[in-house]
Chain A
């Protein structure tokens, strides 16, 4: 079966750095997405990786290793507003989006 694994919950301190990992087993691969979802709000697009390596976008970076079935989302200079759930999703060979259950990130002062 197809599976996306990510930690259920993580806690970090304001101003620090946090890395949220995502591992996947899917039938084929056509890209990996990270979305951010604040409580009671819509998931919003953060990043898309289809080639190996690091994509940097401001305080957020996303890394992909296709051979390892692994990605991470790196958040730097954490702010209280970064408290949210972070969803990892992979597009399989049929261009279906397979979702992880999300990682709830709690930022403490």
Chain B
């Protein structure tokens, strides 16, 4: 069974640009969550999607958005990039509520 797949693995963007990251969950998993990890802040919850609906949202500005498609694949978008957005972005999938989350390998975003 394939795990969680995130693309791309690495990205370098310039301030002011926008970026789209992709996540394919484990087959059969319908919930996808996104996290930002930085050395200073640790793993911060961005949002969670289930059946194409955002059910939970963390404390991030509106520049961070996401969506989920009917096949459970998810994308997150960051607009008007800032230097502080440089981080490892992790996607996790869960089978159903209250169950374990399994992470992808992450996308390392560098904003210059």
A binds B: no
